[in-house]
Amino acid sequence: MERQTSQPIGTPLEFCLRQRAAGSAQQAAVTDVILALCDAAQSIARLLAKGPLGGSLGAETGQDNSDGDSQKALDVLANDHVVRVLEPAPVRYLASEEEDAILTLREDAPLAVAVDPLDGSSNIDVNVSVGTIFSVYTASKEGASASFFRPGSEQIAAGYFVYGPHTALMLTTGDGVDLFVLDPDYRTFRLAQPALVIVPSTSEFAINASNYRHWLEPVRTFIDDCLEGVDGPRGKDFNMRWVASLVAETHRIFSRGGVFLYPADMREAYANGRLRLIYEAAPIAMLVEQAGGLAIDGTRRILDRIPTELHQRTPLIFGSSEKVARIQNYHTDPGYSRGQSPLFRTRGLFNA
C-alpha cells in the first residue's frame, strides 16, 4: 500500500484525526471515540507502569469473564476505564470481553464499539507487553446484535494500544495503518510512522510449539517444512517466536514481518480456535489487511466471517501475505500433504 501522508512525523493524533474527519459526521464521531479510548489507554498505561507497586494486578479475582476465562484484577480495572470514557462518547453499543452482554450506552449515538480491554493479561506480572484491542462499526438500526454480528469487512476503524517500553497506538480508519506513540512529556499520542506496510515475505513464524501433538495435519506439515530449514521444501532456515500476547505478536509482525498461528486443533475446547472473532481477530485482521498482509482462519478470510455469538471463538493465522497464502494452501491443496512427520523420524527433533 502506498498511501501518502501530508503530516510530518510527530504530528499529534487529534490533529491527524480532525483533518480526516473534516466534513464527515461519521468520521468526526469516530475521532471522538478514538480520542476517548486514548484517555483510557493512558490510565491503563499508568496502572501498568506501577508494576508490583500497584498491588498484584495480575492476580485472579476469583471470577470468570463472560467467556469462561479467569479474570485478572487489571482486566476489571481496564474494562471500567473503557466503559467510563465511552459513556459520554458517540457510542450506542459496547461489546467487551469482560461483559456478559452488549451494553447500550447512548440510544441516539451512531457507533458501536467492540473491545478487549486488556489482551494478554496473563503476562502482567512478568512485565511482558499487553494491550487493548478495539473495533468500530456503524450502529445498526436493527439493534445491538446486528451491530456486531456482521462481516469484519464492515468495520470503519480498528486498532490496538500496546503497553511496553513505550505506549503505542496502531490505528486504521480504512485508509492504511499509522503508528502513534504516547509522548510522556506532553501526554499525547504523536504520529511516529505513517502508512505502515507488512513485508510480504518472511522467515519467521510464531506458534505455541508445545501443542504440536494436538495440531491438525496441515499445520503440522507447514511447521515441519519450516523446521527442515535449508534442506527442506522451503529451502531456507526459519526462526520461531512465541510471546503469548496477541498485541505483542502483532506489533512484531508490523515491525519486521512474520506469520502468527493460533490454529484450531484436535482438543475439544480448541476445535473452533481460542481467540475471539469480534473483538480480537476482526480488528487485527483489518489492521493487517490495511497494511498489505493477510488474515485467515485456515481456509477463510477472517473479514468475511459473520459472528453468530458475542464471544465466538476462531482460529487465527495472519501476517506476511506470501506466507499466509502458503499456509492456506496447506489447508486446501492435497499436494501439500506429507507422510510421517520429520519431528518423529529417527533422530528427529523429539527423538535424539
Q: What is the CATH number of the domain that holds 264?
A: 3.40.190.80
Answer yes or no: do 135 and 280 share one domain: no
Residues 318, 229, single domain; the answer is yes
Residues 162 and 240 in one domain: no
What pLDDT, on a 0 to 100 scale, did the predictor assign at position 52?
85
**For 111-164, what is each residue's pLDDT tens digit?**
999 999 999 988 888 889 999 999 999 999 999 999 999 999 999 999 999 999
Section 48-64 average pLDDT? 69
- Relative to beta strand 188-193, strand 178-183 is antiparallel
Q: Which amino acid is at 219?
A: V
162 pairs with which residues across the strands?
131, 168
Q: Which strand (E) or helix (H) includes residue 39?
A: helix 25-49
Distance, CA of 45 to chain centre: 18
The residue among 141, 165, 193 that closes a domain is 193
Q: At what angle do helices 73-86 and 25-49 cross, to 10 degrees?
A: 150
Whole-prediction pTM value?
A: 0.92
Per the domain annotation, does 178 fall within a domain? yes
Does the residue 3 lie in any domain?
Answer: no
Residue 146 shares a structural domain with residue 236: no
The reply to whether 171 falls in a domain is: yes
CA angle 12, 17, 21 (to 5 degrees): 155
pLDDT for position 235 = 92
Of 322, 320, 347, 327, the closest CA to residue 225 belongs to 327
Which tops the pLDDT comparison, 349 or 223?
223
Q: Are residues 69 and 105 in the same domain?
A: yes
Residue 124 and residue 175 in one domain: yes
Q: Domain for residue 351, yes or no?
A: no
Asked if the model's pLDDT at residue 2 lies above 60, the reply is: no
Residue 190 has a CB neighbour count (10 Å cut-off) of 17
Q: Measured between alpha carbons, how far is 303 from 156 in angstroms, rounded to an integer?
A: 12
Task: Write the CATH number for 52.
Answer: 3.30.540.10
For the cut 80, the answer to whether the pLDDT of residue 5 exceeds it is no
Residues 156 and 217 in one domain: no
Read off the pLDDT band of 71 (50, 70, 90): confident
Specify if 66 maps to a domain. Answer: yes
Domain that holds residue 214: 204-344
Query: If we measure between CA atoms, which residue out of 316, 2, 29, 313 comes closest to residue 175?
Result: 2
Res 7 pLDDT > 80: no
Task: Tell me the one-letter amino acid at 320.
Answer: S
pLDDT at site 122: 84
Residue 181 inside a domain? The answer is yes
Pairing state between β 259-262 and 130-138? unpaired
Give residue 339's pLDDT.
59
Tell whether 28 and 144 lie within a shared domain: yes
Note whether 33 and 164 are same-domain residues.
Answer: yes
Categorize the per-residue pLDDT at 345 as very low, low, confident or very high, splitting at 50, 70 and 90: very low
Q: Within this chain, do residues 230 and 309 fall inside the same structural domain, yes or no?
A: yes
Whether residue 56 has pLDDT greater than 50: yes
Choosing from 151, 174, 193, the residue where a domain stops is: 193
- Domains in the chain: how many in total? 2
The region of weakest confidence among 12-26, 100-114, 119-133, 329-343 is 329-343
* Residue 4 located in a structural domain: no
Contact 156, 173 (CB under 8 A): yes
End position of a domain, from candidates 167, 193, 219? 193
Looking at the fold, whether 50 and 159 belong to one and the same domain comes out as yes
Quickly state the pLDDT bin for 348 (edges 50, 70, 90): very low
- pLDDT band of residue 9 (cuts 50, 70, 90) is confident
Assigned domain for 127 exists: yes
Are residues 53 and 155 located together in one domain of the fold?
yes
Reply yes or no on whether the pLDDT at 1 is more than 90. Answer: no
